[in-house]
């Protein structure tokens, strides 16, 4: 293998050996065209002796397979190459393995690999490429504080100036961080900048492939609805041209966020099905949570529970404790609403009066019942609502009987 390691991947302008199938495969990825042929060519490159002697060809081939959702095939090729134990090639394989781990939902593994590259690699290029990928991994895990810390430590603007080929990737990842942190105008500026720039080989990454959709979400958050609709349509067209399930599911999610806000969405249902088939835990976590919240708001509690449970499960799998906690909180609210609905009419009246501050004696006089009867009904209310007593009852939001 090429002993220049990651430097061979990073170099711009890029070189290819004659007849390199990985180069054609990567061109298809960048243009979002002919996914099946791109996958075939990538597999060919990763079993071809001529390509396997070049770090760049390996990078191209595995990158295409990962972005195409061919994760089993990518894993097989990576294992075979890792078993060769070529130290000069270690950074290339570590960075590819980190990207593969993120796509299968092992975000903790992704962060571990990238931190190892940042702390131990002798290659400045590998470290500079690992930094934005670590930012992306932290954003995926919902740890925005850690993402901001890495982004501040590795100055993206300076890096883009010295490494222009990686500029689109830096903009795409910084844009996603701005969006997650609630800075939609800054996110939109970065993502539109990513759209304007040419995509070089080293920036062929899922964050760049999906840049139109991220820009659409930023435009919605920034109140630029016409722009958001146009970008969402472009993302859907690109997803159709590429043809992968995960990308198609992502495009449906984007369209739902733009065209069908707030209400339970058929587009979200389609997105969930596609992402489920594609085995995309990060995509499923976000999409199921969004649909679950919408279903709960519309009173479809059983369907909401199914989606929120899936969101909590997928968020836990990728290590996104923030999203998992949000989903669990919504599930607790659902459980509470179900318990509230189980109160009888009399129990509901007594609970509302107790919540309003009436004493047991005052409630008894108002409803023409004995104090003992009021105590009996309140005991049932506490049991059904899963609370310890009147103080907990009064802390709950009022609900008219």
Q: What is the pLDDT of residues 77-105, one digit of tens each?
A: 999 999 987 777 889 999 999 999 999 99
110-144 b/e with 16+ CB inside 10 Å = b?
A: bbebbeebbeebebebbbbbbbbbbbbbbbbbbbb
Distance CA 147, CA 284 (A): 22
Distance CA 369, CA 363 (A): 8
The class of domain 343-395 in CATH terms is mainly alpha
Checking 107-116 for CB contacts under 8 A at 24+ apart, the result is 107/137, 107/140, 107/141, 107/282, 107/318, 107/319, 107/320, 108/141, 108/319, 110/137, 111/137, 111/138, 111/141
Task: Assess whether pLDDT exceeds 50 at residue 225.
Answer: yes
Distance CA 398, CA 401 (A): 9
339-381 pLDDT, tens digit per residue, is 666 778 888 889 889 988 899 999 999 988 898 888 888 888 8
15-46 pLDDT, tens digit per residue, is 556 678 988 998 899 888 899 999 999 999 99
Query: What's the pLDDT band for 2 if we cut at 50, 70, 90?
Result: very low
The radius of gyration of the chain from alpha carbons, rounded to an integer in Å, stands at 26
Query: What's the pLDDT band for 3 if we cut at 50, 70, 90?
Result: very low
pTM of the predicted model, to two decimals? 0.81
Q: What is the DSSP letter of 342?
A: T
CB 299 within 8 A of CB 334: no
* Domain residue limits, the chain: 260-341, 343-395
């Amino acid at each position: 293998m090429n002993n220049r390691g990651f430097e061979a991947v990073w170099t711009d302008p890029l070189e290819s050996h004659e007849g390199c199938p990985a180069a054609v495969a990567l061109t298809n990825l960048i243009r979002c065209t002919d996914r099946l042929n791109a996958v075939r060519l990538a597999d060919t490159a990763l079993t071809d002796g001529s390509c396997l002697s070049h770090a760049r060809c390996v990078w191209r081939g595995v990158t295409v397979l990962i972005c195409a959702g061919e994760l089993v095939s990518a894993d097989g090729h990576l294992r075979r190459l890792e078993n060769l134990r070529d130290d000069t090639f270690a950074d290339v394989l570590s960075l590819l393995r980190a990207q593969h781990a993120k796509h299968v939902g092992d975000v903790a593994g992704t962060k571990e690999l990238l931190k190892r590259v940042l702390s131990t690699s002798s290659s400045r290029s590998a470290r500079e490429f690992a930094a934005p990928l670590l930012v992306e991994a932290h954003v995926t895990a919902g740890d925005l504080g850690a993402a901001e810390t890495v982004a501040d430590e590795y100055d993206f603007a300076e890096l883009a100036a010295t490494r222009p080929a990686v500029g689109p990737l830096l903009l795409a990842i910084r844009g996603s961080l701005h969006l997650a942190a609630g800075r939609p105008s800054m996110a939109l500026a970065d993502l539109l900048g990513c759209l304007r720039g040419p995509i070089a080989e080293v920036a062929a990454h899922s964050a760049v492939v999906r840049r139109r959709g991220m820009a659409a979400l930023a435009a919605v958050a920034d109140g630029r609805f016409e722009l958001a609709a146009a970008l969402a349509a472009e993302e859907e067209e690109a997803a159709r041209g590429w043809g992968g399930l995960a990308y198609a599911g992502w495009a449906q999610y984007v369209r739902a966020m733009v065209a069908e806000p707030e209400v339970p969405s058929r587009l979200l249902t389609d997105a969930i099905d596609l992402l489920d088939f594609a085995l995309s835990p990060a995509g499923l976590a976000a999409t199921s949570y969004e649909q679950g919240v919408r279903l709960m708001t519309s009173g479809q509690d059983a369907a909401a529970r199914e989606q929120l449970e899936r969101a909590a499960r997928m968020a836990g799998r990728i290590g996104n404790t923030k999203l998992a906690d949000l989903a669990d909180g919504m599930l607790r609210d659902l459980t509470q609403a179900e318990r509230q609905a189980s109160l009888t009419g009399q129990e509901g009246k007594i609970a509302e009066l107790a919540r309003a501050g009436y004493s047991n004696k005052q409630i008894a006089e108002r409803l023409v019942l004995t104090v003992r009867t009021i105590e009996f009904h309140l005991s049932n209310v506490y049991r059904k609502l899963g609370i310890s007593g009147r103080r907990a009852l009064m802390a709950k939001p009022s609900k008219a009987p």
